[in-house]
Amino acid sequence: MIRRLFLILALAAPLPAHAEALANQLFGAKDAPSQQNPMPIGSYAKGCAAGLVELPETGPTWQAMRLSRNRNFGQPVMIEFLKDLSVAATQVGWLGLYIGDISQPRGGPMTSGHASHQIGLDADIWWLRPRSLSLSGKERENISSIPVRSADQRSVTENWTRDRRALLKAAASDARVDRIFVAAAVKIEICKTATTKDKKWLQKIRPVAGHDTHFHVRLKCPKGAKLCETQKPTVSELSNGGNGCDDTLMWWVSEDYLNPKPSKKPKKTEDDAPRKKGSREYTMADLPGQCKDVLSSP
């Protein structure tokens, strides 16, 4: 009931004249997966998803959060991964996991938030250690995760603990995982004690802006998923075959990145090349052709 009410309110809001052509409005209006065989279509940030599976709102070792968003759907491989990782969480002393956004019922661009999470192979996992796995729907809307990165983005907070490192390692060590996005300060902290044995999993830990209250897991395209676009460059290429604990990592906490100086370049005019579209500006024509079938499927 909660998610349906939120969806009705969102769709009832006034929309610009061209909104019916925006892919995020079309996919955001779907409240159930397509009745098709599972298939991630396109890329993580420009695609859709056929035959997704719903992660149950509550399980023995997990709870899906922010149910009003209706984003607890993923490819079968993702749902199985999350269940497996939630069990692994109990081995580091947690009750399980609080799981944030995965994908909309049919994937596709979202009406708010993420640019990716479009093909059912991305999921956000909260850094908040669960104290209860019997939260009500209302409680899941109001509770928040905790930051493991300082406000100035340069270091971790006291919330960064050994159990969280162990959970991250368990996730990255899974063969299904392509890469995991974390705040740069988290990877820098892990690198301080990294050994040569850590290369294989640590290579998958990628710094990115934000991500202070959760880590973002991205799975590889499943075997046989011919419509799924593998992300390039690979984590090995990004790390030059190493673990990524090199000088390039420090750029993420540098003054040039965090507090860039105003550009002296002249502002672009209307005659310049058009800017790149954002995910919430995509129309169906911008997505793979198969996404029309996903959208129209029962």
Please, what are the domains in the chain? Answer: 2-255 (3.30.1380.10)
106 is written with which tokens?
């049919």
Spans of the chain below 70 pLDDT = 1-20, 264-275
Contact in structure between 1 and 8 (CB atoms under 8 Å) = no
Taking the alpha carbons at both ends of the chain, their separation in whole angstroms is 21
Strands, E assignment, 86-146: 97-99, 122-126
Q: Distance (Å, rounded) from C-alpha 20 to C-alpha 23?
A: 8
pLDDT score of 8: 46
The confidence score (pLDDT) of residue 196 equals 83
pLDDT the model gives residue 18: 37
Query: Exposed/middle/buried for 208, CB within 10 Å: 0-12, 13-18, 19+?
Result: middle
Q: Which of 69, 44, 48 is nearest to 57 (CA)?
A: 69
| The overall pTM is greater than 0.85 | yes
What pLDDT score does 10 carry?
46
CA-to-CA distance for 217 and 208, rounded, in angstroms?
A: 12
pLDDT tens profile 243-259: 999 888 988 888 888 88
pLDDT at position 275: 67
Provide the pLDDT for residue 6. Answer: 46
Residue 203 is given by DSSP the state T
Q: Give the contacts of 186 (CB within 8 A, at least 6 positions apart).
A: 148, 149, 156, 160, 168, 205, 207, 215
Q: Residue 199: what are its φ and ψ, rounded to 5°?
A: -60, -45
Q: pLDDT by residue (tens digit) across 13-65?
A: 444 433 357 999 999 999 999 999 999 999 999 999 999 999 999 999 999 99
